Structure 1
């Protein structure tokens, strides 16, 4: 019989404004922490700790199976980070996509929404690697979001989100492949994101920027690479390069610069130029008229975001990320590193035992909410098994109205 949980409010010591929502009962803990802040701090002595961590790792090594001690973990799973990019948002850029009148206006709205899913990374801290079958289910208004870890070796995460009121559907498939390059770690995010505006019969496909963790010459965690967005139904495309602005020998500059364009697929004629900082504002320039407009405002989109809360404690699944890692997260928040280490090791050992048992019995694990396939090009693809995502037991509280 599944154990049930009851909501409890917890407050993180170092961040009085960062409320931690938790559901606990008979040792079962569900911890939900605030989304990543617009300006995240890095932990003290982090450079020395990172050097010690990678001392025996060779350049070019695949870090997919690398296990971090809890001291280097943030109190949440990678599934939660993926989900936060969709459901934790101040200004509702997603609704703008569905309400825009022309195909060009909808496309620019999708570009702005795509930028809004980019959140600041924290150097020296990483989320938990999701266990096989782990899920994360959250609702914000009429938007319902469901994620599942559909593979573990290699790690593949799937996302399905639907908003039946706005007639929107999202399907994502993410396969991060991190590699150590001596003075940096680069996580290449394979897989594609699809956003469907069903009222207009438009399907938008896009990829993700890569996460680059620099150790030298200056420690930093930044997004890099080219994001491409295409809509075959409207014949429009966009290219955006996430990069560090001008710097001298790696010093200075801004690591959150983005530059690109929106253009016609057939003629390759540029319609708009994109330029700015994704953690501040990104502007749109009409190349025909020369007029500028604000495409994206990070202050409106990803500042003062609230942590999700448990609304229906009886419907929480044992596979829910906030439950799976609840004890570890609570120990990290309390800085009880020994307890965090033991709790994390217990989870990892249990998963290894399950894997050995499946292997000995010749069983193949099958995802519960998605189908999964491996293409000839070496990419993973995911499809949801159900047409719509149901309302979740975890919800995002409404944002305070700005004065």
Structure 2
């Protein structure tokens, strides 16, 4: 049931793994505010990837990290809480002076014929050269059990920039009962770009997030490609170790190395034993902290719980270059 990767690796790949244009850098390169928002929308859509039903990544252990560089982009993620599982992410783009922070934790709800997964938390992008902040939320994930098992992205997501008075809204359409029964998943999306204060709509957004998303200028009638999934998701490459001595002991690839090796070799007994050892080590660490009265303190983020929510902020202003890198993915 496990993919040979951690949840942290899955999160990190959404930012550092891409095969086409550096969409994150494009967010700050455009001179016009509307063009910048359109670029932020495209980058946000690039984080939607093909979903595999029935396979789940490892639940990260407390303190686990994932640190990878791809050209000017460097990502650092840390598991800052285990119960509930909370992940904090910090990514920076050195050339374009972009700062991205996430803090999120999944909240599953069982609905009989399906399981609804809500990703709670905050996603914030700062274009520091432009003095702009973009606040983003996320659609929901539905694991449908009947009539045909499958994973679906549904609901609404919004991106808002108070400095430019612009916002984008996208609706991810759920398939009907008959479409699911026939094994179809249309992955369609409809949305808009508008002025926040007046509500004046500037663009219509439409298409399919696994293929092409279009934007129509409502003033001129011009239609353009906003996002091309094929261009972004082809030729993806996994990270490789550039400097083994700098790899942290908490790095996901090290924590789960024997488990992943067992899965890739289809040696299920080895994978099972290795997974139990990782879990037992975590339980022992919890017992030791409880016996000594110590509380867990994240290494790379400050963590504050506010009611049912969590607030995380990185301890360093930029993410340092990583010992794991994507080779040859950027020109």
Q: Which TM bucket (shorter chain)?
A: over 0.9
Which ranges of structure 2 fall in alignment gaps of 5 or more residues? none
Q: Identify the residue that residue 209 of structure 1 maps to in structure 2.
A: 139
Pick one of 193, 201, 213 that aligns with 2:123.
193
For 2:102, the equivalent position in structure 1 comes to 172
Query: Which residue number corresponds to residue 5 of structure 1?
Result: none
Deviation at 1:196, TM superposition (A): 0.7
Correspondence for 2:301 among 370, 377, 387: 370
TM-score scaled by length of structure 2: 0.96
Equivalent residues in 2 for 1:88-237 (5 A)? 88-90=17-19, 91-237=21-167
Q: What's the offset of the Cα at 1:381?
A: 1.3
Where do 4+ consecutive residues of structure 1 move more than 6 Å? none
Task: Show CA shifts across 1:200-245 (max 9, x none).
Answer: 0001010122221111111111222211100001001111112235
Bigger mean CA deviation after superposition, 245-254 or 171-180: 245-254
Matched, 1:292 2:223: yes
Among 62, 66, 76, the alignment partner of 2:5 is: 76
Q: Distance in 2 between matches of 1:132 and 1:106?
A: 36
Q: Equivalent residue for 1:387?
A: 317
Residues in 2 aligned to 1:250 and 1:397: alpha-carbon distance in whole angstroms: 39
Quote the Cα distance in structure 1 between the aligned partners of 2:161 and 2:236. 30
CA RMSD of aligned residues (A): 1.4
Structure 1 residue matching 2:202: 3-state secondary structure = strand
1:84, distance to aligned residue in structure 2 (A): 0.2
Q: CA deviation at 1:182?
A: 2.5
Which of the residues 8, 11, 14 maps onto 1:85? 14
Answer yes or no: is the 8 Å Cα contact 1:120–1:222 preserved in 2: no
Evaluate the alpha carbon distance shift between residue 115 and residue 125 of structure 1 in structure 2; reply closer, same or farther with a 3 A threshold.
same
1:307 alignment partner in structure 2:
238
Deviations 1:359-384 (A, max 9, x none): 222211000000111224x2111100
Asked if the contact 2:137–2:157 (Cα under 8 Å) also holds between the matched residues in 1, the reply is yes
Q: Within the alignment, does 1:359 sit opposite 2:308 as a pair?
A: no
Preserved contact between residue 76 and residue 329 of structure 1 (Cα < 8 Å): yes
Shift of 1:305: 0.4
Q: Which residue of 2 aligns with 1:339?
A: 270
User: What is the 5 A alignment of 1:4-19?
Assistant: none
Give, in whole Å, the separation in 2 of the partners of 1:178 and 1:359.
Answer: 28
d(CA) in 1 for partners of 2:322, 2:113: 42
Aligned 1:266-281 pairs, distance under 5 A? 266-281=197-212
Preserved CA contact (<8 Å) 1:85 1:116: yes
Q: Provide the residue aligned with 1:22 in structure 2.
A: none
Q: Distance in 2 between matches of 1:271 and 1:92?
A: 25
TM-score, normalising length: structure 1: 0.79
Structure-to-structure mapping, 1:50-65, within 5 angstroms? none
Output the CA distance in 1 between the equivalents of 2:15 and 2:179: 36
Shift of 1:260: 0.8
5+ long unaligned stretches in structure 1:
1-71
C-alpha distance in 2 between matches for 1:181 and 1:360: 39
Between 293-302 and 163-172, report the one with greater CA deviation. 163-172
